[in-house]
Amino acid sequence: MTLLAKYHVPGLVVEDHAIEVPLDWHGRDPLDVVKSGFDESGEDGSIGLFYRVLCAPEHVHDDLPLLVFLQGGPGGQCPRPTGPDDDGWIAEAIRHFRVILPDQRGTGRSTRVEPRSIDGMSARQAADHLKKFLADSIIRDFEYLRLTEFRGRRWVSLGQSYGGFLTLTYLSLFPRGLAASFTTGGIPHVPASAAEVYAHTVPRMRRKTEQYYERYPQDRERVAAVADLLAGGEVKLPNGDPFSVRRLQMLGSDFGMKPSFERLHWLIDQAFVDGALEPGDSGETPVLSTGFAMDVLSRTASYGRPLYWPLQEFIYADGELDQPIRWAAWTELQRHPEFAVDARPLMFTGEAALPWMFEEDSSLTPFRPVMDVLMEDTRFGRIYDVDQLARNEVPLQAAVYFDDMYVDSSMQLDTLSRIGRSHAWVTNEFEHDGVHHGTTVFRHLYEEALNRGDLDGLL
């Protein structure tokens, strides 16, 4: 292993590592690359893959089984824990495993993709470059990591959200690497279809907004007052971006998390300079506070995760598509007039990459020509093997959140019904981020696997 640093965070022993992986796998099997040797200076180039290893101090000298965390996203880096209780599942996981936290290619301390990464490329070249940062390449990186740095030991995977999508790619392409898998809120529908996903999730966006207003009915008027003020088109965010009604609607992106309703309520609570009055009570046009605008900017800009929105709809692209994706979420939203910017009460949008974002958000505008190309593409890497999933022999324990706003529970259960050795725990006790809040979710999945004998020979 290439050890960069070893240190302690309270309750954790941490090691930082990095290796080189091929930029373009060309669909190759990592095992073949290991056998033939990988030329880091070859014409296809290489990129850095960064990963951390976490261990409980009392287990630092023990030969523990390995658990690799497949981060949500797309374009999400792994957690940077301040302690084992900072991210709920970690406290439980380090009792049983040595935990591997890879930063997926393009994120964190792995070779990052940012707008300047595509400087000098044509839109076509940049589109082909971004395709190298999807699931087929991510999983090849991880399998290569397992083979080269962990002596080929099979490991257990934990996939949160998009990490569940990656789990099914792993089970499809390289099941030999997995001893067992856990997923939380992240079983994609197979066969994949972005249009089908948004046909299910847009109505959930509406219902989540209705629930928000049911909990905080006074916010109907305050949100409407903010939207009416923004409709004039002259308000700017602190970085100079337009502060549009559509940008305001983006604040519903985390409505599938807890406590998102409270976060938005307290944000709207301080929207106006004269906060002691209700909007319009003074007879004058209300004025938005600078702090409110700054908070909206920090919650909606993509400077810290530049791949999240550009790749959002292409996580559903599997191999040769029958037709281009062409802004699936935007197409579906146009069928729902209740989401119009002049509709009241104002509806908030959820996790949806929309074309206007690449015109109004300065952190995304460099990607707009690339998006025009990608949205017309029909050729992507293969990420699922339906036959392999049907005959799957790797135990899969899935937490399915019944009210999940992002990954429809009925679609998750349909997929799981066609995966061998899969088991679903369906619960409405948690939202999409349940695994991060305390140890309950991970412990439940772990104990189910343990009691079923799925971890025999591993621990």
281 confidence band (pLDDT: 50, 70, 90): low
User: What letters, b where the CB count within 10 A reaches 16 and e where it falls short, cover 226-249?
Assistant: bbbbbeeeebebeeebbbbbbbbb
- Return the minimum-mean-pLDDT range out of 4-8, 271-275, 306-310: 271-275
The per-residue pLDDT for range 118-158, each reduced to its tens digit, is 999 999 999 999 999 999 999 999 999 999 999 999 999 99
| Residue 75 CB partners (closer than 8 Å, separation 6+) | 104, 106, 107, 113, 133, 305, 306, 307, 308, 310, 311
Sheet holding 422-427, edge to edge: 3-9, 12-22, 46-55, 98-102, 66-70, 155-160, 178-184, 396-401, 422-427
pTM over 0.95: yes
Task: Answer for the pair 131, 380: CB distance below 8 angstroms, yes or no.
Answer: yes
Rounded Cα–Cα distance for residues 335 and 347 (Å): 14
Spatial CA neighbour of 50 closest among 134, 109, 114: 109
Longest C-alpha distance within the chain, in Å?
76
Task: Answer for the pair 405, 372: CB distance below 8 angstroms, yes or no.
Answer: no
pLDDT at 274: 83
CATH number for the domain running over 3-192+383-452: 3.40.50.1820
| Domain spans in the chain, listed from the N-terminal domain onward | 3-192+383-452, 194-374
221 confidence band (pLDDT: 50, 70, 90): very high
The per-residue pLDDT for range 409-420, each reduced to its tens digit, is 999 999 999 999
Please check the confidence at residue 430 and state whether its pLDDT lies above 90. Answer: yes
pLDDT at 284: 74
User: Which amino acid would we find at residue 282?
Assistant: S
The per-residue pLDDT for range 187-209, each reduced to its tens digit, is 999 999 999 999 999 999 999 99
Mean pLDDT score, 427-435: 96
Whole-angstrom CA distances from 11 to 95, 98, 327, 330, 402 are 11, 14, 45, 45, 33
CA torsion sign for 88, 92, 94, 97 is: negative
Rounded Cα–Cα distance for residues 40 and 1 (Å): 16
386 confidence band (pLDDT: 50, 70, 90): very high
Please report the DSSP string for 344-397 in residue order.
SSPPPP-S---TTHHHH-TTTGGGHHHHHHHTT--B------HHHHHT--S-EE
Rounded Cα–Cα distance for residues 397 and 183 (Å): 6
| Residue 39 CB partners (closer than 8 Å, separation 6+) | none
